[in-house]
A and B are shown apart, each in its own frame.
Chain A
Amino acid sequence: MAAALTNQLHALVNNMFATGLLDEQFQQLQMLQDSSAPDFVSEVVTLFCDDGERIIGELARQLDQPNVDFDRVDSFAHQLKGSSASVGAQQVKNTCIQFREFCQQRSRDGCLKTLDLVRTEFYDLRNKFQVMLQLEKQIQACYPKH
C-alpha cells in the first residue's frame, strides 16, 4: 500500500517538474526539510496556496476599480511572484513577470488577460499540491509512530 502511494507521489511530483509547473527551487525546499522540521514543505506550500488565493482576489478587485492603481496592482503581482519563486512555482512566477510588465505599461486589458492566465495556473498548481500533501499524509499513516 505504502509503495503504491509512494509511486503515485513520485509520479505526480515528477510530472509537475516535467511540465514546468515546478523548478529546482522546490527541490531546495525539500532539502531543507529534516527531522527537526518534518512538515516544512507542507507548511510552505500551504502558506503559498493561502497567500496566492488572497492575492489573486485582491488583483481582481483592484482591476475592477474605475481608476486602476497600477502601482498597487504591481505590488500584489510582485508579492505573488516572490512567493511563487520561493516555493519553486515556475509557471506562476513567469506569468507574474509578464503581469508586472503590463502593470508598467498601465494596460488594464493586458493585466486582465494575464490575471486569467495566472488564476488558471495557480489553481492547477494548488490542486496538484493538495493531492501531493494528501498522498504524503496517507504514506505517513502507513507507518504509525510508536
Chain B
Amino acid sequence: MARKMIRVLLVEDEEIHRVMARAAVKAAAGAEDDDVLDVAENGAAAVRRVREVAPYDLILMDRQMPVMDGHEATRRIRAMGVTTPIVAVSSDGLPADVEAFIGAGADHFTPKVSQATRQCRPCDACMRHGQQYMIDLCK
C-alpha cells in the first residue's frame, strides 16, 4: 500500500536557503514526488501555519529571522502541544545555539551547510519518522 504524502514546513526567510532546503528535502531518504513542502518566511508565520493548516510531519526551522526567530517559534509550537519533529537549522552551529534550540523543544539540529547535501542525517531521520508516522496512521 502506497504511503500518504508527507507534509513538511520550511521556516526560512532567505530565498537562497529555501531553494537549498527544497533540494535537501527532495534528496532525503524516503522522499517522494507527492510530498508537500510549505514555506513560512518567519517564526510568527510558522506558528500561524502550524495552528491553521493540517498537521505537518516535519518542520525545518531557521534561527535568525525577522518578526520572530526560530527559538521563539519552536517554543510556541511546543506550547501548543504540537509534537511534530522539528529540525533546527542554523549557519552558526555554536554549542549555545544548539542548546537553545533543543531547550526550546527542537528534536534535531543541523548546520545549513550539511542540510543541503545528500547526507543530511537529521532530514533523513525525520523523513523516515514522517514516513513511519504516516504508515502508523494508515493502520
CB–CB A25/B20 < 8 A? no
B63-109: which have CB < 8 Å to A?
64, 91-92
Which applies to chain B's interface (DSSP): helix, strand, loop or mixed?
helix
**A31 with B16: in contact, given A37-B23, A75-B64, A85-B112 (CB under 8 Å)?**
no
Are A51 and B116 also in contact (CB < 8 A) when A78-B64, A85-B91 are?
A: no
Contact digits for A58-72, partner B, Cβ 8 Å, 1 yes 0 no: 000000000000000
Residue-by-residue, is B2-35 near A (CB-CB < 8 Å gives 1, otherwise 0)? Answer: 0000000000001111011001101100000000
Known: A78-B91, A81-B91, A85-B91. A29 touches B16 (CB 8 A): no
How near does chain B come to A27, taking the closest CB pair, in angstroms?
A: 9
CB-defined contacts of A122 to chain B, threshold 8 Å: none
| Distance between A70 CB and nearest chain B CB, rounded to angstroms | 16
Which residue of A47, A48, A51, A75 has the most chain B CB atoms within 10 A of its CB atom? Answer: A47
Q: Are A82 and B23 in contact (CB under 8 A)?
A: no
Q: Check: A79 CB closer than 8 A to any chain B CB.
A: yes
Interface presence of A131 (CB below 8 A)? no
Contact yes or no, B113 A51, CB < 8 A: no
User: Closest 8 A-B residue pairs measured CB to CB?
Assistant: A82-B91, A47-B16, A28-B117, A32-B23, A83-B16, A85-B113, A86-B20, A25-B113
Q: Which residues of B contact A (CB under 8 A)?
A: 14-17, 19-20, 23-24, 26-27, 64, 91-92, 112-113, 116-118
20 cross-chain CB contacts under 8 A? A25-B113, A28-B116, A28-B117, A31-B117, A32-B23, A32-B118, A36-B26, A40-B19, A44-B19, A47-B16, A47-B19, A51-B15, A51-B16, A78-B91, A79-B14, A81-B91, A82-B14, A83-B17, A86-B20, A86-B113
